Amino acid sequence: MPHDIVIVTEGELREAVGLDLTTVETIEAAFAALASGTVVMPPILSMAIEAANGEVDVKTAYIPGFDGFAIKVSPGFFDNPKLGLPSLNGLMILFSAKTGLVEALFLDNGYLTDIRTAAAGAVAAKHLAPARVTTAGVMGTGVQARLQMEAAHLVRPFERVLVWGRDGDKAAACAADIAARLGIEARAEAGPARLVAESQLVVTTTPAREPVLKAAWLHPGLHVTAMGSDQGEKNEIDPAALAAADLYVCDRVSQCEALGELRSAIAAGTWTGAPPPELGDVVAGKVGGRTGPDDVTICDLTGTGAQDTAIATLARRICAGRGAGTAMTV
């Protein structure tokens, strides 16, 4: 029996789906669902294509109560700029959770992933950062550096942003963009240690393979969200920092053990205790979050299929309300 599939382009998605509190609450609900134990979320399928300096990741999850489930395909071919092509692209397919039929195809080129990743950072800040944040710091100068500060500002309206990157010009440009977007002071900071010392909230957004944030820099009242380590060879946070924090949480322990900062801490022998709690446990109230203004907290985000299903479901609802996309009968 024929049915309609809606095809939505990146441009249409950018007009329809933004980084706002509705998006943050949608991703927060996905984390809470993970804590229920009812979400079906298989391990990430990751395939390296070494001949082309590329990789492809596939994520998915079924969340009871959601009308659909998404499968996301994210290729990254890192020699593409030499050909005049972007390194990253991708798409999401939304299926009906009742019939399994394809409902929507989002040709987003990674836009929805960018938004849901930033929203996850906001969820972490909401539940783990100090109630009062005056200065936020971001390490990295790319798209996520900008989006993470925008998202965090929704839940902790800080007054100043410090930006560190290995390229000072890029750090300055990133700071200028953040200042213009948020209407607050933002400047480049040459020293990462000083950035951490002056901030109550720090987000790391780099592809670093050696720590860019040292355990010795942790100070009372600091929250760190690490979201750059999403492959086994990456490492942004000094492995000793995880055990030194008052509270360390993962988005998904099994993923962080393989891909996140937890992997590096286990390999270094600095994390020898029980598995840490997950962010969803904190969101759902199963585990306590920050207990006081002087706590040091760290959140390790590797990105989950539950987030993809949540953002795709939200995108479908918004696009349907706006009449966005092109319907195709198949």
Q: Which residues pair with 73 in a beta bridge?
A: 58, 91
Q: Are 52 and 297 in contact (CB under 8 A)?
A: no
Give the DSSP letter of residue 158: -
The rounded distance, in Å, linking the Cα atoms of 138 and 160 is 11
Pairwise CA distance, residues 54 & 211, whole Å: 24
Q: What does the pLDDT average to over 166-191? A: 97
Residue 5: helix, strand or coil by DSSP? strand
pLDDT digits (tens, 9 = 90+) for 121-137: 999 999 999 999 999 99
Q: Check if the beta carbon of residue 131 is closer than 8 Å to that of residue 311.
A: no
What single string gives the DSSP state of each residue in 247-296?
A: EEEES-HHHHHHTSHHHHHHHHT---SSPPPBHHHHHTTSS----STT--
Containing 165, the helix (H) or strand (E) segment is none
Return the amino acid letter for 232.
G
Cα–chain-centroid distance for residue 290? Answer: 20
Q: Given CA atoms 255, 79, 116, 242 in this order, what sign does their dihedral have?
A: positive
Q: pLDDT, tens digit, for every residue of 192-207? A: 999 999 999 999 998 8
Q: Identify the pLDDT of residue 1.
A: 73
Mean pLDDT of 233-255: 93
* Residue 232, pLDDT above cutoff 70: no
Domains of the chain by start residue, with CATH: 4-112+306-329 (3.30.1780.10), 120-303 (3.40.50.720)
Helix or strand or coil: residue 96?
strand
Angle of helix 111-128 relative to helix 21-36, nearest 10 degrees, comes to 70
CA–CA separation, 121 and 24 (whole Å): 9
pTM here?
Answer: 0.94
